[in-house]
Amino acid sequence: MVRFDDVGLRYGSGPAPEVLRDVSFVLPQGSFHWLLGPSGAGKSSLLGLMHLALRPSRGEVEVLGQPLSRLRRGALPGLRRRIGVVYQDFRLLPHLTVFDNVALPMRIAGRAEAQLRADVGEMLRWTGLDAKAGALPATLSGGEQQRVALARAVVMRPALLVADEPTGNLDGVQARRVLALLREMHRLGTTVVVATHAEGLVAEHPAPALRMEEGRLVAHG
Amino acid sequence: MARPPRVRRSRGRDPLGLRRALSDRLLPALVAAMALLAALALAGAQGAAELTARWEAGAAAAVTVQLPPAAASGGRLERALAALEALPEVAEARVMSEAQMQALLRPWLGEAPAVALPLVIELRLAELPASPDELAGRIAAAVPGGVVESHGVWVARLVALARSLQTVALAALVLVAGIAAAVVAVAVRAGIAARRAAIALLHDMGATDTDIAGRFAGRAGLLVGTGALLGTLLAAPVLAGFADLAAPLLGQVPAGSVAGLPWGSVPWAALALLPLLGAALGWLTAQVTVRRWLRRLP
């Protein structure tokens, strides 16, 4: 479950205006939500709060049952390992192979190499990338890179998966393929939130939506 | 069940790409130069300490009091000994035997000196005086008619000089360690700047500060330890050469050839510690630098 209660977010410590204002909503465990809104509406900031890359300036954020205001900094890494993130720009590490990029969250979590090989192999097959395991990201197409990023995000079987414009840099075919994988994660019980501009994709896959405008949540449902 | 794919994972254990971000050339080369300086400073401090001890030992028995031969009778010698031993600076006052005196004077006076020899009292001092002139005056006052010879004056000055050299060498060692730490900190900061995005990614995936700082610290420790080892290996023959040049100061004869260098004079135990201390310094500096930077992340 994800719960925002009267959340405000301001970057920096000065008198800068809030980029998020009075945001309140609840996402039940296992739900799928679109996050919609124009550029600059605050979608990425909202997702940043969800995957603990940011902390709210005010209000309460609760992620996977953990209220952030009561969590020590040292407890955050454990919670982050239960959250998968897919970025528009993929953020693959260029010096690592596809296999090692996907294996990264497991190595961070200290998983044994034997278990890691089996799980990463399964993820690569799931995303149709098993033949590319030894390739470096620079040799892959945009769609392939985004599937690697998706495999990396879900290899730890996260309870919450957030995707920030995951299809923004992809053509229609690749975008549908990535979206199908996200929907499959939802079917497996993961809470999924996908920020997008692609109204066409949203129309093809109807689901509840959060709609942001100028830092405020203007519609939920 | 299908076999998991066999893939190249040579860099899987270096997700931050630190093998490139923290170069294995520049940092070890700089540290090697500093280790060489540290080894020289260390050897200088040790050499100065040895000279201090040697000169102090020499000066401790370097004060003598001469009395005329007639002082042997009438209890004057005993009174002089008692007065000298009562001085707090004097650890022991001992009359030099006639045999010792003859042995000392034999080159000038022959086997049977025709002149009456003075009585000589050797003084072993508890410690070198802060003011040798003042002590000489007090000894002269305690033994009226005695002639005090105190070449401990210049010995004390040499000892003070050696102590100053020792202090300067230790200060140089501390300075080199400080510069080495600064160089490591700069290199680590450059590495952080080069891998900022990767660090943020690992952090978002749940990597702890300990994990990220440990990756930098392990790499920095390895590079600094390697550089310090190279510098130490370079320093060993240089120090052996310096020890050979300093041989006359210790009453030894210089070898003058590489084969005859006094390798035993090289402070091997202290040198062996340098790479270990260097690695520890690099590790600790990287830990502090990275952890301070990571504090800005949520």
Of A10-14, B230-234, B248-252, the one with minimum mean pLDDT is B248-252
Instruction: Please indicate whether, in this complex, the C-beta atoms of B4 and A85 are within 8 angstroms of each other.
Output: no
**Over residues B154-170, mean pLDDT:** 82
Same domain, B146 and B167: no
Q: Is the per-residue pLDDT at B280 higher than 80?
A: yes
The pLDDT of residue B154: 66
Instruction: Please indicate whether, in this complex, the C-beta atoms of B11 and A95 are within 8 angstroms of each other.
Output: yes
Query: Cα-Cα-Cα-Cα dihedral of A105, B207, B14, A102, to 10°?
Result: 10
The pLDDT of residue B149: 79
Who has greater pLDDT, A36 or B126? Answer: A36
Mean pLDDT of chain B: 84
Same domain, B132 and B238: no
Nearest CA distance, A200 vs chain B (angstrom): 30
As a whole number of Å, the CA-based R_g of chain B is: 32
Of B9, B205, B211, the CB nearest to A97: B9
The pLDDT of residue B250: 66
Residues of B in contact with A134 (CB under 8 A): 5, 7-8
Residue B90 falls inside a structural domain: yes
Instruction: Please indicate whether, in this complex, the C-beta atoms of A77 and B207 are within 8 angstroms of each other.
Output: yes
Q: What is the distance of C-alpha B261 from the center of its chain? A: 20
Give A176-216 as a DSSP string.
Answer: HHHHHHHHHHHHTT-EEEEE---HHHHHHS---EEEEETTE
- Please tell me what DSSP assigns to residue B113: -
The Cα–Cα gap between B287 and B298 comes to 18
Count structural domains, chain B: 2
Nearest CA distance, A203 vs chain B (angstrom): 31
Nearest CA distance, B294 vs chain A (angstrom): 11
Same domain, B32 and B171: yes
Same domain, B176 and B288: yes
Q: Which of B1, B6, B8, B9 to mutate to test the interface with A (most CBs of A within 10 A)?
A: B9
Of A39-43, B71-75, B108-112, B234-238, the one with minimum mean pLDDT is B108-112
Residue A88, helix vs strand vs coil = coil
- Answer yes or no: are the C-beta atoms of B155 and B72 closer than 8 Å: no
The pLDDT of residue B1: 42
Residue B158 falls inside a structural domain: no
Instruction: Please indicate whether, in this complex, the C-beta atoms of B205 and A104 are within 8 angstroms of each other.
Output: yes
Q: Is the per-residue pLDDT at B129 higher than 80?
A: no
Instruction: Please indicate whether, in this complex, the C-beta atoms of B8 and A91 are within 8 angstroms of each other.
Output: no
Nearest CA distance, A134 vs chain B (angstrom): 5
Residues of A in contact with B13 (CB under 8 A): 107
Residue B177 falls inside a structural domain: yes
Q: Is the per-residue pLDDT at B55 higher than 60?
A: yes
Nearest CA distance, A190 vs chain B (angstrom): 17
The number of C-alpha atoms within 13 Å of B265 and in the hemisphere containing its C-beta is 22
B46 confidence band (pLDDT: 50, 70, 90): confident
Domain of B89?
63-150
Residue of A nearest to B208 (CA): A77
Who has greater pLDDT, A128 or A220? Answer: A128
The Cα–Cα gap between B6 and B9 comes to 9
Residue B42 falls inside a structural domain: yes
Residues of A in contact with B203 (CB under 8 A): 80
Residue of B nearest to A72 (CA): B298
Q: Which neighbouring-strand residues pair with B149?
A: B64
The Cα–Cα gap between B121 and B143 comes to 11
Same domain, B192 and B76: no
Q: What is the pLDDT of residues B197-214, one digit of tens each?
A: 999 999 999 999 999 999
Residue B2 falls inside a structural domain: no
Same domain, B274 and B183: yes
Residue B262 falls inside a structural domain: yes
Which residues of A fall below an 8 Å CB-CB distance to B? 51-55, 73-74, 76-81, 85, 91, 93, 95-100, 103-105, 107-109, 117-118, 120-121, 124-125, 130, 133-134
Same domain, B95 and B140: yes
Residue A210: exposure state from Cβ atoms within 10 A (0-12, 13-18, ≥19) = buried
B6 confidence band (pLDDT: 50, 70, 90): very low
Residue B27 falls inside a structural domain: yes
Residue B125 falls inside a structural domain: yes
Q: Any idea what the CATH number is for the domain that residue B122 is in?
A: 3.30.70
The Cα–Cα gap between B8 and B5 comes to 10
Instruction: Please indicate whether, in this complex, the C-beta atoms of A80 and B11 are within 8 angstroms of each other.
Output: no
The Cα–Cα gap between A173 and A161 comes to 22
Same domain, B175 and B285: yes
Nearest CA distance, A96 vs chain B (angstrom): 6
The Cα–Cα gap between A77 and A82 comes to 9
Residues of B in contact with A93 (CB under 8 A): 15, 17, 198, 201
Same domain, B182 and B34: yes
Mean pLDDT of chain A: 91
Q: Of B122, B150, B178, which residue sits at a domain end? A: B150
The pLDDT of residue B9: 45
Q: Of B150, B174, B206, which residue sits at a domain end? A: B150
Same domain, B185 and B127: no
Q: Residue B212 is encoded by which pair of tokens?
A: 């990220």
Reported ipTM: 0.90
Same domain, B98 and B46: no
Q: Of B99, B122, B150, which residue sits at a domain end? A: B150
Same domain, B190 and B123: no
